[in-house]
Amino acid sequence: MEAELTALAVSGATTLVQLMAGDAWATARDRVRALFGRDRPGLTQTADVELEEVRAAVIVAANGDDRAALAEIESRWQARLLLLLREDPEAEAGLRALLAAAGHPPEQVATVHNTVSGGDIRGTVIQAGTIEGDLRFG
C-alpha cells in the first residue's frame, strides 16, 4: 500500500506543477484547494495563500527554463502529498479525481519497482523516464 501511495504522490506532484505552470490552473485550483483545505475554512484560506505563492515560483521557474527549481518544487509537493495521503484516507479519492480531471486517469498511476544488481555497485545510479542528449559519468 505504501508503494501505491508513493506512486500516487509522485504523479500528483508532477501534475500539480504542470497545472500551476499552465492555463489549466484556473480550472484546477478549486480542486487542489479542496484537497489541501479539506473543506475547513482556516485550512482552505491557508492553502489558497500557499498555492498562489508556489504557483508564482513555478511560473518564474518555467519561464526561465529553470528545471532544477521546478524539480525542487515538485519534490516538496511529493512529500507534502504523501504526508496528506497518509494522514487523511479520504485524500486519496480527491487526488485521484484531480488526476482524472487533469487527464491523468488513476489507472496510469503505477507502482514503480527498481532493482540494481550485478556485483559491487559503488557509483551513481540514475532513475529516469527519458534522457535527451549525451549522458557521461566520470
Q: Which domain holds residue 83?
A: 2-108
Q: What is the pLDDT of residues 13-47, one digit of tens each?
A: 999 999 999 888 888 888 888 888 776 667 777 87
Structural contact between residues 26 and 19, judged by C-beta atoms closer than 8 angstroms: no
- Please report whether residue 102 resides in a domain: yes
Crossing angle for the helix pair 25-37 and 2-21, nearest 10 degrees?
140
By the 8 A CB rule, do 20 and 77 touch?
no
CB 32 within 8 A of CB 98: yes
Please give the tally of structural domains in the chain.
Answer: 1
Output the nine-digit C-alpha cell for 20.
Answer: 500551476
Please check whether residue 128 lies inside any domain of the structure: no
> Is residue 137 situated within a structural domain?
no
Q: Are 28 and 130 in contact (CB under 8 A)?
A: no
Task: Divide the 138 residues of the chain into consecutive groups of 10 and give the mean pLDDT of each group.
Answer: 85 91 85 78 77 93 93 92 89 89 62 66 66 66
- Examine residue 138 and state whether it is found in any structural domain, yes or no: no
Q: Flag whether 70 is in a domain.
A: yes
